[in-house]
Structure 1
Amino acid sequence: MKFVRFGAAGQEKPGVIDANGRVRDLSGHITDISGETLASAAFKALRELDIDTLPDAGSADELRLGPCVTGMNKIICCGLNEKSHAEEMNVRMHKEPSVFFKPLSALSGPYDPIVYPKVGQQLDWEAELAIVVGTECKYVDPSEARSKMAGFCVFNDLTDRYWQIERGMGQALAGKWFDTFAPVGPWLVTPDEVGDPSALQIRTWVNDRKVQDFPSSDYIFDADRILAHCSQFFTLYPGDIIAMGSGPGNGIYLGQYLNPGDTIRVEIEGLGQQKNLVVAEQ
């Protein structure tokens, strides 16, 4: 199933995409696509619904879609977890996943504007596959990790390279923190529909120029290993997002950064496409 949250910011309703690309309203069955509901019996019962009998909210192309999940405890990101990107960075591949966090205030919808901060200087993109945790868990074995996932979604780990690198504040710090720097969605796609998360193509376009095109099979640590690794250090809660890292083709290596007026698209096959306009902070 492909779950969405639709409506005005802060007033989103839960929905599911039908075979014709229309949003079917789930408000009569759950209150939201959130950490609280993902682990509920009501959410699990959605699998038995006849989607075509649900209220038709309209075409997904004509509705505002919010982040495909809300009410999470944390946004977890993995750095340098893709072979070609690690080579591009001229760094040795890590023996264990490298993990950092983004604030929840960075969360943004898949079609919402990306706000270029007043102090921003070098805004870069990082298309990534993301896991959405479906159940509270800790000390998970990789062989059991898939059962702890609610699904997968598209994630863009936007970064200001000036604050990340030139100011010497470190990868996990200020360059990652800005508002709207974590667009999520459009869909939360359940594992059964995704199939093999290591067999997906991840692509990015800036102003219709393709800048990233890499397979999820190039991840050094796959989805099962990443979730299991994170669970060794902190409890994972339903709704938590784990972004798995980006591939080659970032702006820092192309000599091109995002500016107000630019449009960026990020797509993962089977998980949908984001499209965001960069706007100057007012």
Structure 2
Amino acid sequence: MTSEIITAASAGTWDLGDLTVNRVGFGAMRLTGSAAFDLGTPSNREQSISVLRRATELGVNHIDTAAFYFSSIRSANELINRALAPYSEDLVITTKVGPARDPSGAWITPARPDELRGQVEENLRQLGRDHLDVVNLRLMGQESVSEHFGALAELREAGLVRHLGISGIKARHLAEAQAIAPVVCVQNRFGLDSRTTDADDILRICGEQGIAFVPFFAIAGEGREKGVHSAAAAPATDDVLLAVARAHGATVAQVRLAWTLHQGPHVLAIPGTGNPDHLVENVAAGALRLSADEVALLDSHHTGG
């Protein structure tokens, strides 16, 4: 790819309700260390702040975060507040509620419906906001979302939340949530190496209904969601991926992101990093245009789990 500085606008835009965002955004989980769930290796605070500021300079106006993204001495929300407040009018910050961790970092029982207000208020305090732009309900194995999503819909009516999304879902959960309140985005695991029939169905349904589909771990390995940080957690690289990357003068990670964005105009990318060079590369991936043959080739050599 060209060495010129490419901005997040290169991938186009999508609307989250009445909020317009560039399709290449930023995931804040990695800002606190090697992962948000690793309490042993805190990140460099000033570098994390610098990465956030550089992201907005590159046109990123969609940042994904959560109050449970923290390490021993770092909080993603606090870093965002320190780096970017007072916030620009076009910056959209998306948060997640549902999961919960105690101060030691251990996962505890997910929030009950009546506890979601406290989680929303925690995000408000940490970010220094009077309302949250988008809040995703992150499912933690629930068969039904009606009580939890209904509680968030009440907070939306109260003005604490502007728009609602849902994460880690099956298609039936989306229909159930939509019967309660509008859904502007779905966050599910999805990537070149992690496609399933369910994931493809939700991708299609979101496109048909004008809902943003926001994959997480699009360039990460199978172990990433569980906090595994070893060679086994890294995504596979094969000759096909390498050939496509070389043809474009790009990295394999950029090809993975470009493939994700090629899945539809409603697909948003939220790659996360604490490395300023990787940030520039991730944003530049939005300008990488794969041919139909290249997309088909990649599809034929990668099947979901």
TM-score by length of 2: 0.24
> By percentage of residues, which structure has more strand?
1
TM-score by length of 1: 0.25
> By percentage of residues, which structure has more helix?
2
